[in-house]
Amino acid sequence: MSRAFNFSAGPATLPEPVLLQAQSEMLDWHGVGASIVELSHRGPEFMGIAAEAEADLRRLVGIPDDYAVLFMQGGATTQQALIALNFANPRQVADYVISGHWGKTAIKQVKPYLDARVAATGEAGGFRGIPARASWQLSDDAAYVHVTANETIHGVEFRDVPDVGAVPLFADFSSSIASEPIDVSKYGLIYAGAQKNLGPVGISVVIVRRDLLDRAGQPRADIFDYRSHLKGESMLNTPPTWNWYLAGLVFKWMLAEGGVQEFAVRNARKSALLYSTIDGSGGFYRNEVDPAVRSRMNVPFFLHDEALDKPFLKEAAAAQLISLKGHRALGGMRASIYNAMPVEGVQALTAFMQDFQNRHG
Ligand SMILES: *Cc1c(COP(=O)(O)O)cnc(C)c1O
């Protein structure tokens, strides 16, 4: 067996100790004689896993008690729609600041449900930056302001929390949650699909200020209602137990490695090494994002000659560096370097990039 360094944007690489533990527990979880995926979600074994996962995530991310935590199905895209149903009536405004592809999907999901407005967008500039806060056209009476903390495709990341006054700030943290300390109290709601930085695809996390759950929202089925999910301890229907269990193992791994403080250091080191390799290549490689808001998690880059894309990907794969092909919307390359990507993986990638340049430059 040989494991490559996997730069996939999501589903993404998982910590090897987590995969090994899941493997060793696959047939017989802690001596109960069955796999955890074969047991009832309401049995003591899984209830224990669920409770520990929430406690561990609270400790990892630093979630205050006045915030509820939900584990949901449907991915981040479903949360993008549910926030409208749960927190705004059809005549209410919601302001969207769009800094890339996922901001665009977010506003698309709520258009049927409320008066969705673009407060600012970086589209005219090809999403290479974040519109200056002073240029945002915010509505006084908005139900919420929505931002994408890290744009996974365009590689654009907010480096501070924008001040939006008394209106609750809602943020899509799918690709950067737990990558560094965040001040949860500055947000009304945070959501994240797990398959970037938290675990396997199939589960997402919603962190919501409890008082916001009193808002009427719109008529909706129980299964679309965050209050019902909270009351039902995220087990309104059969939850994705395998995904929840694996995410729980990832939380424990992150805590054991030193928590978000430690990952902030590693992630800064990894991204600085990669950007300096790109910037120091004399134009052989380039990243076009405003350096002030370059993502620490997803680094899109282009080779100076597109004809080199195929050989680059082929030689990288031969060197055990995989999933570097850029998103089809942008082309080029993208290296996703989440918490589970070790510093050694980025060192191997940058050494390969320099060697490739020497041979093809
Ligand atoms: C991947 C991603 C999504 C979509 O997640 P799904 O789980 O596929 O719905 C939304 N927002 C961001 C920032 C993402 O990276």
Give the pocket of ligand 1 (CB within 6 Å).
10, 75-77, 102, 148, 152, 172, 174-175, 193, 196
pLDDT grade for 105, boundaries at 50, 70 and 90: very high
Alpha carbon of 123 to ligand 1 centroid (Å): 19
**Active-site entry in 29, 102, 244, 253:** 102
Closest C-alpha residue for ligand 1 atom 10? 76
252 is catalytic: no
**Given ligand 1 and candidates 77, 82, 99, 243, which is best to mutate, with the most ligand atoms within 8 Å of its CB?**
77
Q: What is the mean pLDDT of residues 68-75?
A: 97
- Residue ranges of the chain that CATH labels 3.90.1150.10: 258-360
Is domain 258-360 given the CATH code 3.40.50.10680 in the classification?
A: no
**210 annotated among ligand-binding-site residues:** no
pLDDT for res 14 = 98
The answer to whether residue 157 scores a pLDDT higher than 90 is yes
The counts of H helices and E strands in the chain are 9, 14
Reduced to 3 states, what is the DSSP secondary structure of residue 114? Answer: coil
pLDDT at residue 122, as a whole number:
98
Q: Which amino acid is at 97?
A: V
Q: How many CA atoms lie within 13 A of 131 on its CB side?
A: 22
Active site residue 136: no
Annotated active-site residue 102? The verdict is yes
Instruction: Report the interhelical angle of 259-279 vs 241-256 (nearest 10°).
Output: 80
C-alpha torsion 260→266→268→271, nearest 10? -130
Burial of 163 from C-beta contacts in 10 A (0-12 / 13-18 / 19+): exposed
The verdict on whether residue 102 carries a ligand-binding annotation is yes
Q: Give me Rg for the CA atoms of the chain.
A: 21
Residues in the chain: 361
Q: How far is the CA of 264 from the centre of ligand 1 (A)?
A: 21
User: What atom in ligand 1 is closest to the CA of residue 194?
Assistant: 7
Please give the DSSP secondary-structure letter assigned to residue 36. Answer: G
Q: 35 in helix, strand or coil?
A: coil
- What's the mean pLDDT in 81-91? 97
Mutate to test the pocket of ligand 1, among 152, 197, 198 (most ligand atoms within 8 A of CB): 152
For residues 147, 153, 157, 158, the Cα torsion angle rounded to the nearest 10 degrees is -10
Torsion of CA 38, 193, 272, 8, to 10 degrees: 60
Instruction: Give percent of the chain with pLDDT exceeding 90.
Output: 98
| Candidate list 29, 56, 95, 196, residue with the active-site label | 196
* pLDDT, mean of residues 3-32: 98
Q: Which of 56, 95, 172, 225 is catalytic?
A: 172
Strand order in the sheet with 298-303: 285-286, 298-303, 333-336
Per residue in 128-149, pLDDT tens?
A: 999 999 999 999 999 999 999 9
What mean pLDDT is reported for the chain? 97
Q: What is the pTM of this model?
A: 0.98
Ligand 1 probe mutation, 148, 154, 175, most atoms within 8 A of CB: 175
User: What local confidence, expressed as pLDDT, does residue 63 receive?
Assistant: 98
**Separation of alpha carbons 54 and 51, rounded Å:** 5
Angle between helix 241-256 and 44-61 (nearest 10): 40
Query: Residue 289, SS3?
Result: coil
Q: Is the pLDDT of residue 1 over 80?
A: no
Could you give the CA distance from residue 192 to residue 134 in angstroms, rounded to a whole number?
27
Residue 280 has pLDDT above 80, yes or no: yes
159 pLDDT tier (thresholds 50, 70, 90): very high
In this predicted model, what pLDDT tens digit does every residue of 197-244 receive, in sequence order? 999 999 999 999 999 999 989 999 999 999 999 999 999 999 999 999
Number of CB atoms found within 10 A of residue 236's CB: 17
User: What is the mean predicted confidence (pLDDT) over 327-334?
Assistant: 94
Q: How far is the CA of 191 from the centre of ligand 1 (A)?
A: 10
pLDDT at 361: 86
- Residue with more model confidence, 352 or 2: 352
115 — pLDDT class (breaks 50, 70, 90): very high
Q: pLDDT tier at 2 (50, 70, 90 boundaries)?
A: confident
262's tokens: 């430690």
Nearest residue by C-alpha to atom 5 in ligand 1: 76
**Nearest residue CA, atom 14 of ligand 1?**
174
CATH topology of domain 17-256: Aspartate Aminotransferase; domain 2 (3.40.640)
**Start-end ranges of CATH 3.40.640.10 in the chain?**
17-256
- Residue 185 contacts by C-beta under 8 Å, 6 or more apart in sequence? 64
238 marked among binding-site residues: yes
Per the annotation, does 195 bind a ligand?
A: yes
3-state helix, strand, coil in the chain (%, to 5): 40, 15, 45
How many Å lie between the centroid of ligand 1 and the Cα of residue 79? 10
Q: What residues are paired with 80 via a beta bridge? A: none
